[in-house]
Amino acid sequence: MQLIYSTTSPFARKVWVAAIKLGLRDQMTLEVANPLRNADLVSAANPLGKVPALLANDDQVVINSPVICQFLQRRANNNVDLHQPSYMDLDTTERLHTLADGIAEAAFMTVMEKQRPAEHQSELWLGRWSQAIKRALKMIESGDIKLLKNTPESIAEIALASALGYIDFRLSDNGWREENPVIAAWYQEIMQDPELRETMPAD
């Protein structure tokens, strides 16, 4: 299997960490590509022009990071269940996974908007994305964080760590730690995981 991967994408990072945790590292190769600089390569794999995209051995193309993670789960080489671990039910895992992906999406859209000339940036949308990140983190901080392990044993932990890593990488002045001290302490612990450290975002 070949994973079309960007070293800056929190969604691609989530998929690659999940693949490693599921014992699939040796069955996959990474094709590093930037959706803007390598648009032809990315679009050939995914007509939507987004990463990640997975090219399966049967010539099947799998797109959208949650779908890819489910696809990999069904092919796991071990007894790891990232989507329904013993300590969290499926509905909770999926809700936290979706919240984490929403945080990452809002952060990504913020980064894209800030690359436009200042006079063309939308304060309305920047404000909406900022508030979306704040609300989602507040919800997790106020209760759900207690459900998460300090090691990435479910897709919820992997997705949240990937989203927060992207914020630190691209929006370092966000200040999320000050408003969410419990999540901040959790993040410091989970980042001791070797696969999360190996996949830190980089240009």
**55 pairs with which residues across the strands?**
2, 61
Same domain membership, residue 107 and residue 185 = yes
Mark which of 73, 105, 120 sits at the end of a domain: 73
Residue 105 included in any domain:
yes
Beta carbons of 109 and 75 less than 8 angstroms apart: no
**178-191 pLDDT, tens digit each:** 999 999 999 999 99
pLDDT in tens, 136-146: 999 999 999 99
Residues 179 and 134: their CA atoms lie apart, in Å, by 9
| CATH code of residue 19 | 3.40.30.10
pTM of the model: 0.96
For the chain, the domain total comes to: 2
Q: Which of 27-31, 161-165, 193-197 has the weakest average pLDDT?
A: 27-31
Instruction: Write out pLDDT tens, residues 53-112.
Output: 999 987 899 999 999 999 999 999 899 999 999 999 999 999 999 999 999 999 999 999
Judgement on whether residues 37 and 110 belong to the same structural domain of the protein? no
| CATH number reported for the structural domain that contains residue 153 in this entry | 1.20.1050.10
Q: How far apart are CA 22 and CA 91, in angstroms?
A: 20
CA pair distance 37, 107, nearest whole angstrom: 20
* Domain shared by 95 and 67, yes or no: no
If asked whether residues 111 and 143 sit together in one domain, one would say yes
Pair 98, 189 in one domain: yes
Of the three residues 42, 73, 104, the one that is the final residue of a domain is 73
- Which tops the pLDDT comparison, 46 or 106? 106
Task: List the domain range (segments joined by +) for residue 7.
Answer: 2-73
